[in-house]
């Protein structure tokens, strides 16, 4: 199984796992689950922390390195995703998750 984390789920998984539901926490701790995060979420975290709207416990590069060591896969954004050659998201789509062309990926919400 795959789990695509949204930004807040990633933040809570990294620093405040008690904020996650037992179901989500069990899924993230399951060694057979591939945990994914879009690089867009990292960009969002960086922007929010620079604007003072979010506090993160360590420099973002360190958090990512630790979580990659724990098995996290960071998904890139490619030119074809942006230009629509890979996916054609609805113009009304409000999240990048809607634009990611990964099948059998389960997005989770705490």
Residue 93: the pLDDT is 46
Structural domain that includes position 27:
2-108
pTM: 0.71
The pLDDT tens digits for 77-102 are: 888 777 765 555 454 444 444 444 44
Q: Diameter of the chain by CA atoms?
A: 40
d(CA 19, CA 12): 6
Block residue for tokens 């990659």: 68
Residue 93 structure tokens: 């789509």
Encode pLDDT of 9-58 as tens digits.
Answer: 999 998 899 999 999 999 999 999 999 999 999 999 999 999 999 888 89
Could you tell me if 25 and 17 are in contact, meaning their C-beta atoms sit under 8 angstroms apart? yes
Domain count along the chain: 1
d(CA 63, CA 21): 22
Q: Which two tokens stand for residue 40?
A: 């867009």
Give me the CATH number covering residue 69.
3.40.50
């Amino acid at each position: 199984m795959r789990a695509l984390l949204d930004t807040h789920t990633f933040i809570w998984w990294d620093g405040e796992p008690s904020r996650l539901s037992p179901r989500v926490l069990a899924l993230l701790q399951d060694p057979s689950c591939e945990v994914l995060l879009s690089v867009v979420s990292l960009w969002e975290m960086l922007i929010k922390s620079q604007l003072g709207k979010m506090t993160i416990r360590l420099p973002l590069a360190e958090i990512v390195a630790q979580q990659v060591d724990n098995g996290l896969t960071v998904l890139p954004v490619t030119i074809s995703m942006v230009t629509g050659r890979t996916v054609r998201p609805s113009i009304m789509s409000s999240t990048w998750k809607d634009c990611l062309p990964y099948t059998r990926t389960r997005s989770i919400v705490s």
